[in-house]
Amino acid sequence: MNIIKTVGDMKTWSRAIRESGKTLGLVPTMGYLHEGHLSLARKSINTCDHTVVSIFVNPKQFEPNEDLDTYPRDLEADRRELERLGVDALFLPTEEEMYPEGFQTYVNIEGMTDHLCGKSRPGFFRGVTTVVLKLFHIVQPHSAFFGEKDRQQLEVIRQMVRDLNLDVEIVGLPIVREADGLAMSSRNRYLGKEERETAQSLNRALKQAQQWIAEGESSVEKIRSGMRTLIEREGRAQVDYISVCDPKRFVELKEIRGQAVVALAVQVGKARLIDNCLIERI
Ligand code: PAF
């Protein structure tokens, strides 16, 4: 596996792939890889001729009070896993390489980023879209792979691709869960034993919401408050948001008809956890 650290070398490597007529897949990550990331890399390997995984803990998507400094990192383990999978290149830029002195250009997607995670973390999506657009320009992939756990992020990136006429296919893949139902996330590492049990309430609440909806409940207010009760009864959980919203614009719904996303963000100890599911009422 090639380990590439500069923007110039990454551009040269990927240009050679494109010029040889082969397809290139990109899996952008912040490292500390788990099975969710690996499922994206596997999909890229299976559908593209060559695969690049990037690892960059992007400071621009963290709020000043967030966990940038303590975000988990284990580069050696990540490198071994990617090598074992058969990834062709690991792009590992430094902060100076991505944001050199004097950097002042940002990508801002409006509207859909005012809700859910965008409301609680005001600079988050601006940081994500800025770094992802830079990665698209540097790597020039034919396809890029993102997880549905970050469903709002996935849709924001799709919107950016449409709005800016980018030639990259965005592939979204299902949430990968631990055996106990907890959605895989690098931040799960922050959870102690009891917090880990509390964290399972996110998936339980989502399943309960799906069941209420299947049984005919269409009042979003009742679903939200029922989920909140289930989660808050755990004591150690602090709900940031529980949302039943439109799957593309992330605007809160009053009633469920057609497709909807049920999404939630909950602080459990040091970990801010998010999870969601897509539901359909015909
Ligand atoms: O989902 C993530 O890990 C990050 O937000 C991403 C897409 C790699 C951008 O830094």
Q: Both 160 and 192 in a single domain? A: no
* Position 38 in a domain: yes
Query: What CATH number should be reported for the domain holding residue 245?
Result: 3.30.1300.10
Domain of residue 37 covers 2-173
> Does residue 37 carry a catalytic annotation?
yes
Rg (CA), the chain: 19
Q: Which atom of ligand 1 is nearest to the CA of 157?
A: 7
pLDDT tens digit sequence for 181-190: 999 999 999 9
Q: Which amino acid is at 122?
A: P
* Position 18 in a domain: yes
pLDDT tier, 84 (very low <50, low <70, confident <90, very high otherwise): very high
Q: Both 132 and 193 in a single domain? A: no
How far away, in angstroms, is 29 Cα from ligand 1 center?
5
The mean pLDDT value for 90-102 works out to 98
Per the prediction, the chain carries an average pLDDT of 97
Question: With 90 as the cut, is the pLDDT of residue 281 above it?
Answer: no
Domain count, the chain: 2
Residue 125, CA distances (Å) to 115, 128, 163, 231, 246 in order: 11, 5, 15, 26, 18
Q: How many whole angstroms separate alpha carbon 217 and alpha carbon 104? A: 48
Question: With 90 as the cut, is the pLDDT of residue 87 above it?
Answer: yes
| Strand-by-strand arrangement of the 169-173 sheet | 2-4, 89-91, 50-55, 24-29, 143-147, 169-173
Question: With 80 as the cut, is the pLDDT of residue 282 above it?
Answer: no
Q: How many whole angstroms separate alpha carbon 222 and alpha carbon 228? A: 10
Tokens representing residue 166 in the block: 């980018």
For the chain, percent of residues with pLDDT exceeding 70: 100
Lowest mean pLDDT among 143-147, 221-225, 255-259: 255-259
How far away, in angstroms, is 188 Cα from ligand 1 center?
16
* 34, 37, 50, 137: the active-site residue: 37
Q: Both 74 and 211 in a single domain? A: no
Q: Both 215 and 149 in a single domain? A: no
- Cβ atoms of residues 149 and 185 within 8 Å: yes
Q: How many whole angstroms separate alpha carbon 158 and alpha carbon 168? A: 10
Q: Both 108 and 195 in a single domain? A: no
Ligand 1 proximity of 244 Cβ (cutoff 6 Å): no
Question: With 90 as the cut, is the pLDDT of residue 235 above it?
Answer: no
Tokens representing residue 244 in the block: 């039943």
The mean pLDDT value for 228-249 works out to 96
> What is the per-residue pLDDT for 264?
98
pLDDT tens digit sequence for 210-234: 999 999 999 999 999 999 999 999 8
Q: Which atom of ligand 1 is nearest to the CA of 150?
A: 1
* Position 281 in a domain: no
Question: With 80 as the cut, is the pLDDT of residue 108 above it?
Answer: yes
Residue 154 CA from chain centroid, whole number = 7
The mean pLDDT value for 238-244 works out to 98
Question: With 80 as the cut, is the pLDDT of residue 132 above it?
Answer: yes
Q: Which atom of ligand 1 is nearest to the CA of 186?
A: 3
* Position 180 in a domain: no
How far away, in angstroms, is 129 Cα from ligand 1 center?
9
Query: What CATH number should be reported for the domain holding residue 107?
Result: 3.40.50.620
Q: Both 26 and 81 in a single domain? A: yes
Q: Both 90 and 62 in a single domain? A: yes
How far away, in angstroms, is 60 Cα from ligand 1 center?
11
- Cβ atoms of residues 163 and 14 within 8 Å: no
Q: Both 64 and 159 in a single domain? A: yes
Q: Both 250 and 198 in a single domain? A: yes
